[in-house]
């Protein structure tokens, strides 16, 4: 290869390298900066509440929680949500995936049933919905079924002094229907329900 051919080959390699660098910078700009900014802008414009985490705030503007993530309610005068093996920690979404015969699962279920008996003496275990003693797939489920809410009414009525009819109406008002009328099941957001319950107790 003579000197002229070497120069041409060197220029070609330099040209390819320069083109690759330019293309890489272009995609970094488009995919790393422009696209995220456009998506964020559209989300903030069209659905700012959902884009910011579907946060629930008090009348004073204090953040109480998110309607997408459940919370532990230990006070028996409030409605209880589903069991969460991760204590509703959003950064650790998931469950233990225990099989039906797993000793730890059996122990946890037995403890949940015993706790139900102690806190809800007026409602037999035969009426205890399975959803109240089982973990959701994510461990973050903020909802329970209307039946899971209604079965807690005798306990809450006794502890708060509110009538069963008042509490039944409250559950009914906070029952969300199926998505698009066909997908999923009717559900109740526990946090929203308990916020309304607190207001009713004032």
Q: What is the DSSP string of 135-163?
A: B-SSS---EE-HHHHHTTHHHHHHHH---
pLDDT of residue 6 exceeding 60, the answer is no
Asked whether 36 and 26 are in contact (CB, 8 A), the reply is: no
195 — alpha (psi -120 to 50), left (phi > 0) or beta?
alpha
Alpha carbon distance 137, 185 (integer Å): 16
- Say which residues have a Cβ less than 8 Å from residue 125's Cβ, sequence separation at least 6: 113, 116, 117
User: What pLDDT does 54 receive?
Assistant: 81
Q: What percentage of the chain has pLDDT greater than the value 70?
A: 93
What does the mean pLDDT of the chain come to? 86
Mean local confidence (pLDDT), 3-24: 66
146-161: average pLDDT:
95
Is the pLDDT at 4 greater than 60? The verdict is no
Q: How open is the CA angle 101-107-109, to the nearest 5 degrees?
A: 85
DSSP assignment of 34-49: IHHHHHHHHHHHHHHH
Q: 59 or 113: whose pLDDT is higher?
A: 113
How many Cα atoms occupy the beta-carbon half-sphere of 80 within 13 Å?
A: 25
User: Which two three-digit tokens encode residue 72?
Assistant: 């532990």
pLDDT, tens digit, 9 for 90 and up, residues 72-88 = 898 999 999 998 888 88
- The pLDDT of 100-114, averaged and rounded, is 87
**Mean pLDDT over residues 11-36, rounded?**
83
Question: Predicted confidence band at 58 (pLDDT cuts at 50, 70, 90)?
Answer: confident
Answer with the residue of higher pLDDT: 121 or 16: 121
Angle between helices 190-201 and 164-173 (to 10 degrees): 140
Predicted local distance difference test score (pLDDT) of residue 13: 66
CA distances (Å), origin 3, targets 7, 11, 13, 15: 6, 12, 15, 18
Please report the sign of the dihedral spanned by the C-alpha atoms of residue 126, residue 118, residue 132, residue 84. negative
Grade residue 167 by pLDDT with cuts at 50, 70 and 90.
very high
**pLDDT of 125 higher than 50:** yes
């Amino acid at each position: 290869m003579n000197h002229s051919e070497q120069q041409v080959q060197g220029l070609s390699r330099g040209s390819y390298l320069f083109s690759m660098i330019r293309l890489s910078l272009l995609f970094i700009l488009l995919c790393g900066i422009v696209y995220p900014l456009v998506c964020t802008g559209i989300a903030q414009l069209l659905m700012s509440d959902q884009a910011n985490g579907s946060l629930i705030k008090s009348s004073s503007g204090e953040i109480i929680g998110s309607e997408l993530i459940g919370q532990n309610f230990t006070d028996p005068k409030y409605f209880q949500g589903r069991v969460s093996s991760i204590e509703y920690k959003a950064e650790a979404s998931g469950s233990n995936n225990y099989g039906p015969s797993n000793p730890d699962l059996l122990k946890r279920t037995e403890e949940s049933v015993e706790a139900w008996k102690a806190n809800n003496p007026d409602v037999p275990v035969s009426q205890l919905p399975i959803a109240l003693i089982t973990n959701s797939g994510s461990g973050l489920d903020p909802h329970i079924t209307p039946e899971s809410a209604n079965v807690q009414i005798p306990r809450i009525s006794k502890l708060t002094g509110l009538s069963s009819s008042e509490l039944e109406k409250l559950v009914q008002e906070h029952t969300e229907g199926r998505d698009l009328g066909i997908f999923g099941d009717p559900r109740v957001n526990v946090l929203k329900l308990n916020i309304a319950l607190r207001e009713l107790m004032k």
